[in-house]
Structure 1
Amino acid sequence: MTSHWDAIRRHWQLLGPPLRPPPDAVETYERELDLQSAHVLLLGVTPELADLGKTMLAVDESASMIASIWPGDTGTRKAVIGNWLDLPIASNSVDAVIGDGCLSALHSSTARLHLLAEIERVLKPGGRAGLRLFAGPEAPDDLAAVRELTLAGGVATFHELKWRIAMSCTGGYPDRAIKVKAILKAFDALFADREELSLATGWDMAVIGTIDVYATSQASYSFASAAVLVGEASRHFGRGRLAPTGTYDMVERCPLLVLEQPRR
């Protein structure tokens, strides 16, 4: 998985919403979790979230991502190498845990539940978590319809298209997982002529080419529905709710899962 993220970081600046959180999504974390005076744990090194909280510790498995994407350590924030499923911090030690798309970076329901248990462990009593989701629809989109919608100008960005394809090709519940190689395969089957896609949408060929890092990746993503993810979270938290994260394209599939009342 580390090698996958090492490849992703090389074209990080070409990525955009919904893959990266726009300003209105960042504001949602602050509004829903009241982070101003919080000691925060960030899962990953999402630079847009680096300035949230009174203090922040970011944990990422990839040294390359930390070196390339993280905006730098300061007196109040720091990034360290670590495994989300075995977080390198003490129990009951942070006020809030945040993450952007982190549940979809895991390949199974079992892994998601393991992460939720770790979040529960490290939170102080009364702590809260906010995780922006990439939630798949209850019924997958028809791929032929996705192609037609895209060529008609109904898909705003290439990154939205990637996620629509991925969410339509996942396996069954509860995992709803897909190998990233399979996302590339499905994309190539739908859009064999990339120049045609570029001309129809106005998307730069370099941006379309970002999907090619999936070719040699061994990683898998998961796109469970919001209802499934709320149900999984309920095993570790007494209260879970979904908050809208703005007005950007595909926002309806990217709510913030707000978790409160750790059950331990």
Structure 2
Amino acid sequence: MTDHWNAIRGHWKLLGPPLRPPAEAVETYHRELDLSKAHVVLLGVTPELAGLGATMMAVDESSDMIAGIWPGDTASRKAVKGDWLDLPVSGASVDAVIGDGCLSVLGLSTARRALFAAIARVLRPDGRAGLRLFASPETPDDPAAVQALALSGGVSTFHELKWRVAMTATGRAPDHAIPVRTIAERFDALFPDRQELSARTGWELPVIATIDVYRNSPAIYSFAPPMALISEAEAFFSNVRIVPTGSYGLAERCPLLVLRSPRG
């Protein structure tokens, strides 16, 4: 997995929404979780979220991502290498936990449940968490429809197209998982002519080439529907809800999962 995240780091500047959270999504975290005075744990080192909270600890398993993506430690924030499923934080000591797309990089439902348990352990009794989802629809899209939509200019960014392609090919319950190399294979089958895709959409070829990071990766992603994730979270939290994060491309599949009041 280290090589996978090192490759992602190398292409980070070419990525955009919905893979990276736009300003309206960042504002949703702040508004829904009341973060202005909070001590926050950030899952990962998403730079757009680094300014949230009064103080912050970011936790990432990849030294390469910390070195290459994190905007830097300050008096009020720091990034540490660590395991999300065994957070380096005392129990009941954190006001808020946030993460962007972090449930999708866990390929198994058992891992998602373990993350919910880890979050519940570290939150204070009045704590809250917000995780932006990459959630597939309950009925998968038809690949031919995704192909036609993209070639007609109906997809806002190449990164939206990557997720749409992935969501046509995920396995079903309980994991809703897909090896990321399969995303690249499905993309190649649907869009064999990258020059044509670039001409029809205006997307630059280096941006389209970010799909090649997936080609030999051992990583497995998951794109579970919202109701499946709500069901998993409700085993650990008494108040679980879905909040829209804006109007950017694919925003309807990228809501914020808001968790409060961990069960004791």
TM-score w.r.t. structure 1 length? 0.99
Structure 2 residue 195 is matched with structure 1 residue 195: yes
What corresponds to 1:248 in structure 2? 248
* Counterpart secondary structure, 1:199: helix
* Counterpart secondary structure, 2:192: coil
1:39-94 deviations in whole A, cap 9, x for unaligned? 00000000000010010000001101001100000000000001111111111111
What corresponds to 1:92 in structure 2? 92
What corresponds to 2:143 in structure 1? 143
What corresponds to 1:183 in structure 2? 183
What corresponds to 2:65 in structure 1? 65
What corresponds to 1:21 in structure 2? 21
What is the CA–CA distance in structure 1 between the aligned matches of 2:146 and 2:227, rounded to whole Å?
23
What is the CA–CA distance in structure 1 between the aligned matches of 2:24 and 2:148, rounded to whole Å?
29
What is the CA–CA distance in structure 2 between the aligned matches of 1:122 and 1:245, rounded to whole Å?
25
In the TM superposition, what are the counterparts of 1:1-264 in structure 2 within 5 Å? Answer: 1-264=1-264
What is the CA–CA distance in structure 1 between the aligned matches of 2:190 and 2:254, rounded to whole Å?
24
1:173-196 deviations in whole A, cap 9, x for unaligned? 121000000000000001111101
1:254, distance to aligned residue in structure 2 (A): 0.4
1:172, distance to aligned residue in structure 2 (A): 1.1
- Name segments (4+ residues, structure 1) moved above 3 Å: none
* Counterpart secondary structure, 1:216: coil
What is the CA–CA distance in structure 1 between the aligned matches of 2:217 and 2:85, rounded to whole Å?
21
What is the CA–CA distance in structure 2 between the aligned matches of 1:49 and 1:226, rounded to whole Å?
22
What is the CA–CA distance in structure 1 between the aligned matches of 2:20 and 2:59, rounded to whole Å?
17
What is the CA–CA distance in structure 2 between the aligned matches of 1:66 and 1:139, rounded to whole Å?
37
Letter of the structure 1 residue corresponding to residue 43 of structure 2: L
What is the CA–CA distance in structure 1 between the aligned matches of 2:253 and 2:223, rounded to whole Å?
10
1:132-182 deviations in whole A, cap 9, x for unaligned? 000000011000111111101111110000000101100011210000000
What is the CA–CA distance in structure 1 between the aligned matches of 2:165 and 2:89, rounded to whole Å?
37
- Matched pairs, number: 264
What is the CA–CA distance in structure 1 between the aligned matches of 2:140 and 2:92, rounded to whole Å?
39
CA RMSD of aligned residues (A): 0.6
User: What percent identity do the matched residue pairs reach?
Assistant: 67
What is the CA–CA distance in structure 2 between the aligned matches of 1:78 and 1:50, rounded to whole Å?
9
1:28, distance to aligned residue in structure 2 (A): 0.2
1:2, distance to aligned residue in structure 2 (A): 2.3
Letter of the structure 2 residue corresponding to residue 101 of structure 1: G
TM-score w.r.t. structure 2 length? 0.99
* Counterpart secondary structure, 1:16: coil
Letter of the structure 2 residue corresponding to residue 192 of structure 1: P
